[in-house]
């Protein structure tokens, strides 16, 4: 199944003890670039979160946001920095002696000095925390994956339509070739007659010249390869994994063949079709960039 690299997923769990919310969104990227923003106390789970995420995604720049609110009484603890308080007292005594001021420091005043008292998160029960965090992560990842799959199906249908159009354009190039050769034969015959002013001309010389021209503008190899690439793309679109990179490679090969057809174009009509070929292939390449 085709999966887009653009997606969004969100899950939330709210109980009397805690609230957990997980949200993720993604855009195109050559590889998997997973950025995680979460409370510092959850950092110990980063490895587990990344391992879990890789089960649901392989490419894309993904931003993952986790919020965690603990409502239990033991979720935070008050810490007293005795050593720092001692330093404050010592410097205040020095100031009092140096400037002859009354040292009127009170306990309530000292307690408000920076870092004397701090609130710290209580240590987590790792097993219990992961037990409640993992299901929310899985739900968000699943919704994220489903959203990417839905978008991927739209991409597949669009690509199939573009491949159908591309096939028609290749057919036009193939159909145009004999007419271009015949038009060249008539042109060169008329030119030789005008130059020689003789209705009787050497047909073998004309034929040789036409053969050289036909060989020069012959695009059979390119059109055959393009038809083959179109079939390969349709097949790849039904594969299960590694689709994006394969399609990107095929699009590059298609563009190479279209460039050659355009360079060999023997008339304006073929050149115009060649330009349409390149334009359609570029549209295909742009869409492929969205596929995981």
Between 225 and 183, the more confident residue is 225
User: Which structural domain range is residue 96 located in?
Assistant: 82-115
For residues 290 and 59, the answer to whether their CB atoms sit within 8 Å is: no
Do residues 21 and 100 share a domain? no
User: Looking at residue 241, what is its pLDDT?
Assistant: 76
Residue 209 has pLDDT above 80, yes or no: no
Q: Which of 81-85, 181-185, 218-222 has the lowest mean pLDDT?
A: 181-185
Residue 261 is assigned to a structural domain of this protein? no
Residue 147's nearest CA partner among 51, 8, 21 is 8
Whether residue 18 is found in the same domain as residue 65: yes
Q: With 60 as the cut, is the pLDDT of residue 198 above it?
A: no
Q: Give the pLDDT confidence of 72-82 residue by residue, as tens digits.
A: 755 566 778 89
Q: Are residues 37 and 100 in the same domain?
A: no
Same domain, 53 and 106: no
- If asked whether residues 69 and 86 sit together in one domain, one would say no
For the segment 23-36, what is each residue's pLDDT rounded down to a tens digit? 999 999 988 999 99
Q: Please compute, for residue 159, the number of CA atoms within 13 A of its CA located in the half-sphere on the CB side.
A: 31
Q: From CA 270, how far away is CA 259, in angstroms rounded?
A: 12
pLDDT of residue 267: 78
Q: pLDDT tens across 93-121, in order?
A: 899 888 888 888 888 888 888 888 876 66
Query: What pTM does this model have?
Result: 0.68
Q: Is residue 24 part of a domain?
A: yes
Same domain, 107 and 49: no
How high is the pLDDT of residue 143? 97
- pLDDT digit string (tens) for 2-13? 889 999 999 999
CA–CA–CA angle 95, 100, 105 (5° rounding): 55
- Residue 195, pLDDT > 60, answer no
Domain match, 32 and 131 both: yes
Q: Cβ distance 4 to 152 under 8 Å?
A: yes
Same-domain pairing of 33 and 109: no
| Better-scored residue on pLDDT, 48 or 216 | 48
Mean pLDDT computed over 221-230: 89
Which pLDDT value is given to residue 35?
96
pLDDT above 70 for 185: no
Cα 117 from Cα 71, distance rounded (Å):
21
> What local confidence, expressed as pLDDT, does residue 253 receive?
93
Sequence-ordered alpha helix ranges (H) in the chain:
46-53, 82-99, 107-111, 126-196, 203-217, 220-236, 243-264, 268-288
Asked if residue 252 belongs to a domain, the reply is: no
Structure confidence at residue 69 as a pLDDT band (50, 70, 90): confident
The answer for residues whose C-beta is within 8 angstroms of residue 24's C-beta and 6 or more apart is 7, 8, 9, 10, 62, 63, 64, 65, 140, 141, 144
Residues 23 and 53 both lie in one domain: yes
Query: Are 107 and 44 members of one domain?
Result: no
pLDDT at 208 (0 to 100): 65
With pLDDT > 90 as the criterion, what percentage of the chain qualifies?
Answer: 48
- The 10 Å CB-count burial string (b at 16+, else e) for 248-285 is eebbeebbebbebbbebbbeeebeebbebbbebbebbb
Query: What does the pLDDT read at residue 76?
Result: 62
Residue 176, in any domain of the structure: no
> What's the pLDDT at 177?
76
């Amino acid at each position: 199944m085709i999966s887009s690299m653009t997606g969004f997923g969100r899950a939330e769990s709210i109980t009397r003890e805690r609230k957990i919310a997980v949200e993720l969104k993604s855009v195109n990227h050559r590889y998997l670039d997973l950025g995680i923003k979460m409370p510092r106390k959850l950092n110990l789970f980063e490895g587990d979160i990344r391992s879990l995420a890789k089960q649901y995604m392989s490419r894309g720049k993904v931003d993952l946001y986790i919020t965690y609110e603990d409502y239990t009484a033991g979720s935070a603890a008050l810490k007293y920095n005795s050593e720092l308080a001692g330093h404050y007292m010592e410097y205040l005594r020095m100031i009092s002696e140096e400037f002859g001021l009354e040292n009127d420091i009170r306990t309530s005043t000292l307690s408000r000095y920076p870092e004397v008292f701090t609130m710290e998160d209580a240590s987590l029960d790792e097993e219990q925390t992961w037990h409640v965090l993992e299901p929310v992560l899985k739900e968000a990842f699943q919704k994220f994956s489903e959203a990417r799959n839905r978008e991927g199906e739209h991409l597949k249908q669009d690509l199939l339509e573009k491949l159908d159009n591309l096939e028609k354009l290749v057919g036009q190039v193939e159909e145009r070739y004999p007419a271009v050769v015949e038009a060249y034969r008539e042109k060169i015959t008329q030119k030789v007659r005008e130059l020689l002013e003789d209705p009787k001309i050497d047909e073998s010389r004309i034929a040789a010249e036409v053969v050289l021209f036909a060989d020069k503008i012959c695009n059979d190899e390119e059109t055959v390869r393009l038809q083959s690439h179109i079939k390969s793309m349709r097949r790849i679109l039904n594969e299960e994994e590694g689709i994006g990179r394969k399609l990107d490679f095929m699009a590059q090969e298609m563009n190479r063949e279209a460039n050659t057809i355009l360079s060999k174009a023997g008339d304006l009509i073929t050149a115009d079709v060649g330009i349409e070929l390149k334009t359609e292939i570029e549209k295909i390449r742009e869409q492929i960039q969205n596929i995981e």
